[in-house]
Amino acid sequence: MELGLKDKVALVAASSKGLGYGVAKALAANGAKVSLCSRSADDVAAAAETIAADYGAETLATACDVRVAAEIEAWVEKTASAWGAIDCLLVNAGGPPAMTLSEASDDDFQAAFELTLLSSFRMIRMTVPHMGAGGSILTVTSSSIREPSPRLGLSTVMRAGVAGLVKTLADELAGDGIRLNNLIPGRIDTDRVAQLDAVTSEKTGISLDEVKARAIANIPLGRYGTIDDFGRAGAFLLSPAASYITGATLRVDGGAMRSI
C-alpha cells in the first residue's frame, strides 16, 4: 500500500532512540523528510545521519528539551524555514518516573505535567499554524490511559489528559482538515520498558528474566514488540492513507490489553 508520504515534512519528537526513532525510520522509509529532536545534540545528530544514510532521506537534527517552550518553538521554526509547510507531527516525550501517586510530591506532579501534558499542548499549538488541510498529528501515549498500571500513577494521569486533549482538538481542527490520533505502545523493547522491568524486579525481588517472562505470558502474540512494529503503525496513522481516521486510539500491544 502506498502511504502517500513522499516529500511530506514530518516533525518527530524524542526520536534519537526508542519509539520516536522507530516512527522516524518508518516515515523516512516511505519518502518523508524527517526533522528529529532530542535533548542530546550528539544522539539526535547520530540518529538523523543513520536514517539519512539508510533510506536516502532528507533529515534535520535539533537539540530540544520539550519541557522548554522556546526550544520547541525553535525546532518547529527551523523545520518550517528549511522545508516550508509541516505535514506531520509525532508528539512524544520520555515518561514520568515510576511511583505511586501516594509517593508523589507537588514537585513530582508539576514535573510530570510539564514533561507529558504541557509539552504535548505546546508542540501541537506551535505546529498547527504551519499545517494545512491534510495535516496529521499523532501522540505517543500509554496503555495506562485504559488500564492503569501499578506505580505509573503520574503517567496515567498526565497521559489521560493528553488523550482528552487529542479528542478535543480532533473535533476543533477537523474543519481545517487536520487529523489527530493517539498511539498506545504495549511492551515494546525500548530502554523505557527495560527500566520499568528493572524497577519491578527491584520492588518484587523477582529476577529480571522472570519479570520479562511473566510479561510475555500475558501477551497473546508471545513477545515484546519492536520499535519497527510501532514505527510502521505510526507512519500509517500520520500518512494520507489514514485520511478518514481522526480522534482515534490505536493499540500496538500484541493483544495484551484486555479492555474492549
Return d(Cα 134, Cα 182) in angstroms, integer.
17
Q: Read off the pLDDT band of 189 (50, 70, 90).
A: very high
Q: In what order do the strands lie in the sheet with 179-185?
A: 59-63, 33-38, 9-12, 88-91, 136-140, 179-185, 249-252
Residue-level pLDDT at 260 = 81
Q: What is the largest CA-CA distance in the chain?
A: 53
Query: Which pLDDT tens digit goes with each residue over 138-172?
Result: 999 999 889 888 888 999 999 999 999 999 999 99
Which backbone phi and psi does 143 adopt, to 5 degrees?
-60, -20
pLDDT at 23 over 90: yes
Residue-level pLDDT at 33 = 98
pLDDT at 192 over 90: no
The pLDDT mean for the chain works out to 96
Return d(Cα 238, Cα 26) in angstroms, integer.
11
User: In sequence order, what E strands does the chain have?
Assistant: 9-12, 33-38, 59-63, 88-91, 136-140, 179-185, 249-252
The H-or-E segment that residue 97 falls in is: none
Write down the pTM of the prediction.
0.95
SS3 64: coil
Q: Read off the pLDDT band of 11 (50, 70, 90).
A: very high
